[in-house]
Amino acid sequence: MTTPDADGLLAEQLLRLTRRVHRIQKRHLEQRDLGITPAQSRLLRTLAHWGSPPRMADLAERLEVVPRAVTTLVDGLEASGKVRRVPDPANRRVIRIELTDDGRGALRELRAARRSAAEEILAPLAEDERAALGGLLDTLIDGEPVRRC
């Protein structure tokens, strides 16, 4: 069994790793000079996984933010031509958000930046260590306790 001090140390290590990941990803984004913030990047990635253009409220729920935050992100992305607001064909009072061709191109660049950031972060680990880390992270993300025999 782990002592509370050891658990506190693990929590601190996870926080430090998260900050490092954010810094490295931000640097890789800036090197590509896309003019997209990490929050806008997250919104674009979320949009890409929708089958049809979502409503702003759907985006806010999926991103776990208040609707006002989505409005600000969409305003910036719309101004740069990455997304556009379109009326819902079934209810013209509803506005949906869709990716533009520029937005899809930006997503390709964002994916490349994330891949290069991941390569940098994971460089010290061997393949088997990466697989073990992935399994451990899945367990922590899912919140399921590890069963031991």
Q: Compute the distance between CA of residue 35 and CA of residue 57 in angstroms, rounded to an integer.
A: 25
Position 1 scores a pLDDT of: 53
Position 149 scores a pLDDT of: 47
Token readout for 11 is 């929590």
By the 10 Å C-beta count (0-12 exposed, 13-18 middle, 19+ buried), 1 is classed as exposed
Q: Compute the distance between CA of residue 80 and CA of residue 74 in angstroms, rounded to an integer.
A: 10
* Residues 96, 85 contacting (CB under 8 angstroms): yes
pLDDT digits (tens, 9 = 90+) for 78-100: 999 999 999 998 998 999 999 99
| Residues with pLDDT less than 70, the chain | 1-4, 145-149
Position 31 scores a pLDDT of: 87
